[in-house]
C-alpha cells in the first residue's frame, strides 16, 4: 500500500524549505553588506571592486576566475608577505607583475571578514544596484532635495498677499452692489463710491483703540526681530562667519558620502589636525589616492571627479600626469576666525580629546560642509567652563594630575574644567 504525503505535511515541508531559503539568503545579504563595509575601509583605496580599472592596485573584476581555488584568497588577504615568502607561485607572479607590496591585514581582518569581502565581490555592482533602485543613479537625501528646489518664502508671502488683495477687492465690490440694490429697493439713496483707501481710513477712525493695540504689537515685534538679528551677529561682524554659512565649493564634495557612508576618518583628509594648529585643506593628491581608481561617483557620475583630474593634470585614459596642465582648486573656507584669535586644533583634538563634531556638528550627515556652531567668544567661554579636562591616562597632564590629586586629597566630586586650569585667561586665545 502506497503511503501518501498528507496536505498538512506538504505545507509544513514547503514552509520549512522556504524558511531555510529565506534565512540563508538573509545571511548571505548580511555577509555581503559587512563585506562592503570592510572593503570600503581597507581595500577601496587601492582596488576597484567591480571593474577592471587599474588604481594603485589592479581592479578586482573577474578576480575569482584567475586566482587559485581553495583558501588561497584568505592567506593572501590576511598576510600576503608570508604567502610570497613561502614560495607560492601565483603570489610571486602578482608581486612581480605589480611591484607594490599589498598591506598585511593580519590582526585586522580574519577569515570571516575575508569571506564577507568575497560575498561582496561576487555580488552585484553597487553602482548598478543603485541605478536600478533610483532610476537615474542619483542618491536620495539632502542633495536630492536641494536639486528639486522649492518656493522661496518671500515669493510665497507675496503671492498670498496678492491673492488676498484680489479676494478683498472682489468681496468689497459684491458687498457694495448688494447694499446699493437694497437701498434702491427701499427708496434710499445709494452709498457714495469711495476708494478702498478711504474706507480703510474711515474704519481706523472708528476703531482707534484697536488700531493702537495693533501698532504697539507690530512695533514691539519689529524691535524684538532687530534685537535677535543683532544678538546673533558674531564678534567678527562678517556674514561669512555666521552659523549656517554654507558656501558652494568648486567641487560638489559630499561629506555624508565620504565620512558617513564610506566611514573615512576626518584625519585621513585633514592630516595636520593632530600635529598643527590648522586642520589643513586636503590636496588633490589625497583625493587621487582613491579616485585614481574610482572614476565614477554614485550621484554626479564622472563630472565632479573629472574636476579633480583637471586640477591634478591627470589623464584617466592613459593613467599619466601632466604638470603643465595642473589647475589648483580654490576651496572656500567655511569656519573663519578673526586674526586676533589663536586656536590650536592639535591642542583640542590630541590633548583635550575633543571630537570633531563637538565644534563642526555631525559632518557625517552633511552633504555640503556647513558652520553649525556660532564660534563666538561667548560660545567658546561656555565650552571652557563646562568641559572637564581629561587627565586620567593623558600623558600631557601627568604631572599636573599628580599635583592636583595631592592638593585636593580627601575632597570628592572635584571637577577640573578647562576654566580651572587657566582656560579663561585672555592671553590663551588673544595675543
Mean pLDDT of 412-425: 80
pLDDT computed for residue 330 by the predictor: 87
DSSP state of 51: S
pLDDT computed for residue 32 by the predictor: 74
Distances (CA, A) of 128 to 114, 152, 333: 23, 36, 35
How far, in Å, CA of 291 to CA of 265, rounded?
16
Least confident of 13-27, 185-199, 238-252: 13-27
Query: Which residues are CB-contacts of 60 (< 8 A; sequence separation ≥ 6)?
Result: 47, 48, 49, 50, 121
Mean pLDDT of 374-382: 88
pLDDT for 234 beyond 60: no
pLDDT for 232 beyond 80: no
How far, in Å, CA of 35 to CA of 21, rounded?
21
In tens, the pLDDT along 146-205 reads 444 456 666 788 888 889 888 887 887 888 888 888 888 888 888 777 777 787 888 888
Query: Which residues are CB-contacts of 206 (< 8 A; sequence separation ≥ 6)?
Result: none
pLDDT computed for residue 396 by the predictor: 81
State the cell numbers at 372: 553649525
pLDDT computed for residue 55 by the predictor: 64
pLDDT computed for residue 318 by the predictor: 87
- The structural domains of the chain, ordered by start, are 21-123 (1.10.760.10), 376-431 (no CATH)
Mean pLDDT of 216-233: 80
Angle between helix 284-291 and helix 303-312 axes, rounded to 10 deg: 130
Q: What is the pTM of this model?
A: 0.48
Polymer length of the chain? 431
Q: Find out whether 418 and 384 touch, Cβ atoms under 8 Å.
A: yes
Distances (CA, A) of 127 to 49, 108, 157, 248, 290: 10, 27, 42, 26, 16
Q: 145: pLDDT confidence band, cut at 50, 70 and 90? A: very low
Amino acid at each position: 500500500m502506497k503511503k501518501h504525503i498528507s496536505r498538512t505535511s506538504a505545507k509544513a515541508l514547503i514552509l520549512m524549505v522556504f524558511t531555510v531559503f529565506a534565512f540563508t539568503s538573509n545571511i548571505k545579504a548580511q555577509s555581503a553588506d559587512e563585506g562592503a563595509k570592510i572593503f570600503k575601509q581597507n581595500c577601496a583605496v587601492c582596488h576597484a571592486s567591480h571593474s577592471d580599472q587599474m588604481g594603485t592596485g589592479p581592479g578586482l573584476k573577474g578576480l575569482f576566475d584567475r586566482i587559485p581555488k581553495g583558501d588561497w584568497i584568505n592567506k593572501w588577504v590576511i598576510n600576503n608577505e608570508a604567502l610570497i615568502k613561502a614560495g607560492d607561485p601565483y603570489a610571486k607572479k602578482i608581486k612581480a607583475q605589480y611591484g607594490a607590496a599589498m598591506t598585511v591585514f593580519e590582526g585586522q581582518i580574519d577569515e570571516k571578514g575575508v569571506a564577507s569581502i568575497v560575498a561582496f565581490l561576487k555580488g552585484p555592482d553597487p553602482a548598478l544596484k543603485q541605478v536600478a533602485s533610483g532610476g537615474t543613479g542619483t542618491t536620495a537625501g539632502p542633495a536630492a532635495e536641494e536639486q528639486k528646489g522649492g518656493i522661496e518664502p518671500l515669493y510665497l508671502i507675496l503671492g498670498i498677499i496678492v491673492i488676498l488683495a484680489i479676494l478683498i477687492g472682489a468681496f468689497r465690490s459684491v458687498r457694495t452692489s448688494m447694499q446699493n440694490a437694497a437701498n434702491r429697493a427701499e427708496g434710499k439713496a445709494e452709498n457714495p463710491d469711495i476708494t478702498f483707501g478711504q474706507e480703510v481710513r474711515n474704519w481706523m477712525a472708528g476703531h482707534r483703540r484697536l488700531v493702537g493695540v495693533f501698532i504697539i504689537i507690530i512695533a514691539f515685534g519689529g524691535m524684538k526681530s532687530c534685537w535677535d538679528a543683532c544678538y546673533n551677529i558674531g564678534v567678527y561682524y562678517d556674514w561669512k562667519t555666521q552659523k549656517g554659512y554654507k558656501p558652494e565649493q568648486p567641487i560638489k564634495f559630499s561629506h555624508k558620502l565620504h565620512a558617513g557612508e564610506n566611514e573615512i576618518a576626518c584625519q585621513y583628509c585633514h592630516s595636520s589636525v593632530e600635529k598643527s594648529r590648522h586642520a589643513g585643506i586636503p590636496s588633490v593628491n589625497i583625493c587621487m589616492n582613491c579616485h585614481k581608481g574610482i572614476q565614477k561617483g554614485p550621484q554626479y557620475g564622472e563630472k565632479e571627479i573629472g574636476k579633480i583630474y583637471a586640477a591634478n593634470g591627470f589623464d584617466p585614459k592613459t593613467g599619466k600626469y601632466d604638470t603643465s596642465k595642473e589647475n589648483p582648486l580654490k576651496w572656500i573656507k567655511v569656519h573663519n576666525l578673526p586674526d586676533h584669535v589663536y586656536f590650536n586644533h592639535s591642542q583640542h583634538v590630541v590633548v583635550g580629546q575633543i571630537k570633531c563634531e563637538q565644534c563642526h556638528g555631525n559632518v557625517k550627515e552633511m552633504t555640503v560642509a556647513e558652520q553649525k556652531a556660532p564660534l563666538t567668544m561667548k560660545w567658546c567661554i561656555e565650552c571652557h567652563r563646562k568641559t572637564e579636562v581629561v587627565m586620567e591616562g593623558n600623558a600631557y597632564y601627568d604631572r599636573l594630575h599628580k599635583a592636583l590629586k595631592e592638593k585636593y586629597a580627601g575632597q570628592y566630586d572635584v571637577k577640573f574644567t578647562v576654566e580651572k586650569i587657566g582656560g579663561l585667561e585672555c592671553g590663551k586665545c588673544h595675543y
